[in-house]
Chain A
Amino acid sequence: MKKLPILLTALGLAACSGFALAEADATRGAASAAVCMACHQADGSGMNIPGGESWPRLAGLDAAYISKQLHDYKSGKRSSASMMPFVNMLDDQKIADVAAYYAGLPATKGKGSESANEATLKRGQQLAERGDWSRYVVSCKSCHGPDNQGAGAVFPGIAGQHAGYIKTQLQAWRAGTRKNDTQDLMGSIARRMSDDDINAVAAWLASQSASAN
């Protein structure tokens, strides 16, 4: 049952441990998010670090998506040495609150596309909007939604995300070191992408607006 993990994380794993979660509260989330700000910044903009471990923008991402990722870090379904000490400070209520807090912040701009040339951006746009069916790489937007700004709780907005983060995530999906997706939906596509494809789509998405307005 693939729908269960999503429901469980969205509604709170607390149900399993016998506690009822209070409704997510962004104000409480702001206080709990103090531990996140060193990397993800007070405005949730994260940071693009060329050649290093970029910290994703969280501002404006879907709350259920953020919540699922935090739960996945805690359970080990998604691994990150940097995130581990911090997620362990968050209980289920705090995860829900922090997710609501970041989801409510206005999206900031993606970085890391500044030095990309025209050909790279063109290839990136093709992959993002039309895909490359000659290698069965479906377009990003076929799951991540119109303009890649996200679709529902499962498929996050990736437009306006930092290029460095998108690149390392696609590499992780491809290598199998990240596999907390449903049905291997992302992994199966990433494994057909070349390094050039990954760089191109990361640069293009970073150059795009995270929100429709």
Chain B
Amino acid sequence: MIRTFSYVALSGTLLFSATAAATDDTTQQYINTLTELGYPAPKANELVHIPPTMEDLENASLHPELKRVIRRGYDLFTNTQQLRGENVFNNMNCSSCHMGEGRMPFSAPVWPAAVTLPNYRGKNDHVNNLEERIAGCFTYSMNGKPPEYGSDNMLALSAYHQWLAKGVAMYPEKPIYGRGFPAPDRPAKLSYARGEAAFEENCSVCHGNDGEGLRVGNHTVFPAIWGDMSNNWGAGIVRVFTAAGFIKNNMPLGQPNSLSDQEAWDIAYYMSNQERPQDPRYTGDVKDTLEKTQERFHKHSMYGQARETDGHVLGDHNNTGEKPFLKPDSVRPRTFE
């Protein structure tokens, strides 16, 4: 069952249809669950979409082969470690950051990419489609090498994204409820020491005292949040506001919105002051790289800055972690000429 419509329609004419009333109840219940968890209710003009589940997929009238490919995409999304050494060179899964299998609002749900792309993207200053957007995650968040455009794995991942967007109109004009990792207002002052203490108090039981996370066999249980097994310096979550938004809305697991805004920002600031593999856009010099990427990206991160505790310049190294190269071929400009 697909439940997509604008929240404003809830109190409107849709109520006169019995089916729409049932949909209305489902959506209202969905919103109630979220608001009870401390998330804001949708604004009057926002698009609320409840992405279909894997159970819905079984009941959907789609070609069995398509269902098989979407299941494959789901499997890659939730166990991306199966691509370790080929496309993934750290301990991350897609679902490490995109909670609820990419379906949760306020946790960068992935379906908006399927309905808003192709679009211009500031990060690389050109028009990206869904595959290139997914490639970006592999390049930076997975410290890896994206599956080839058009490959089975890339197609399966794209199909999963598009399945989650089922029923949403392309290029929606209304703002999307719960898109991205919305950050709380930035407090006046961020503190490394407070962030460190809050991290040890709230995060270290799962993510370890050195941010290393926890693996069991070849599976990641809790992702590394800095260090060689974490995302590299080019990933969106190295921006302090993105990390603060992720933490506030999603952590500790099962207790969203339980940390104060100050705690979420302090922990994000502390995390952002730790080392991780080099940004694939590195030119060989941290100052030069910072200059080239500052406006579009690194003005929001700690990259290239001296850490207040010991003066270490963050990102001033050649370490690419487990990945035996710096930049995958997919990182290239497009000119459409």
**A interface list, Cβ under 8 A from B:** 1-3, 6, 126, 130-131, 133-136, 138, 142-143, 145-146, 149-152, 154-155, 182-185, 188-189, 212
Residue of B nearest to A6 (CB): B205
Assembled-state Cα–Cα distance A1/B209 (Å): 11
Contact for A2 among B99, B103, B205, B254, CB less than 8 A: B205
Q: Decide if B18 is an interface residue (CB 8 Å cutoff).
A: no
A136 to B202, CA, bound (A): 19
Interface residues of chain B: helix, strand, loop or mixed (majority): mixed
Q: State how many angstroms separate the Cβ of B219 from the closest Cβ of chain A.
A: 4
Residue of A nearest to B218 (CB): A146
Report yes or no: B219 in contact with A3, Cβ–Cβ below 8 A: no
Question: CA–CA, A138 to B78, complex, Å?
Answer: 13
Return chain A residues, CB-CB under 8 Å to B256. 136
Question: Which residues of chain B from 218 to 276 have a CB within 8 Å of any chain A CB?
Answer: 219, 221-222, 252-256
Residue of B nearest to A144 (CB): B221
Among A1, A6, A151, point to the contact of B201 (Cβ < 8 A).
Answer: A1
Closest B residue, CB atoms, query A184: B255
B214 within 8 A of A: yes
Contacting residues, chain B, for A143 (C-beta < 8 A): 206, 221, 253
Q: Check B200 for interface membership: any CB of A closer than 8 A.
A: yes
CB pair B37 A136 closer than 8 Å: yes
What CA separation (Å) do A138 and B252 show in the bound complex? 12
Which listed residue, B99, B202, B221, touches A151 by the CB 8 Å rule? Answer: B221
- Kindly identify which residue among A3, A142, A146 contacts B204, using a CB–CB cutoff of 8 Å: A3
On whether the beta carbons of A145 and B219 are closer than 8 Å, the reply is yes
Q: Which residues of chain A come closer than 8 Å to B221, judged between CB atoms?
A: 142-143, 145-146, 151-152, 155
Q: Between A and B, how many residue pairs show CB distances below 8 Å?
A: 68
Residues of A within 8 A of B55 (CB): 126
A135-B33, A143-B206 known; 5 other A-B pairs, CB under 8 Å? Answer: A2-B205, A136-B256, A145-B216, A184-B255, A212-B217
Query: Contacts of B209 on A, CB cut-off 8 Å?
Result: 3
A residues within 8 A CB of B206? 143
* A3 touches which of B30, B33, B200 (Cβ 8 Å): B200
Is B100's beta carbon under 8 Å from chain A?
yes
Does B10 reach chain A (CB closer than 8 Å)? no
From A135, A138, A151, give the contact of B253 (CB < 8 A): A138
Take A134-B30, A183-B255, A185-B254 as given contacts and tell me if A3 and B205 are in contact as well, using a CB distance cutoff of 8 Å: yes
Q: Which residue of A lies closest to B201 (CB)?
A: A2
Is B15 an interface position by the 8 A CB rule? no
Task: Tell whether, in the assembled complex, residue A151 and residue B216 are in contact, meaning their CB atoms are under 8 Å apart.
Answer: yes
Give the chain A neighbours of B103 by CB distance below 8 A: 133
Minimum CB–CB distance for A139 against chain B, Å = 9
Q: Once the chains are docked, how many angstroms separate the CA of A1 from the CA of B204? A: 9
Q: Contact mask B39-61 → A, CB, 8 Å, 1/0? A: 00000000000000011000000
Using Cβ atoms and an 8 Å threshold, which residues of chain A touch B202? 2, 183
In the complex, A45 Cα to B99 Cα: how many Å?
36
- Bound form: Cα–Cα A1–B104 in Å: 30
- Are A188 and B254 closer than 8 Å at their CB atoms? yes
- Cα–Cα, bound, A86→B107 (Å): 46
Q: Find chain A residues with CB under 8 A from B54 CB.
A: 130
Which residues of chain B are near A212, meaning CB under 8 Å?
Answer: 217
Docked-complex contact A185 and B253, CB < 8 angstroms: yes
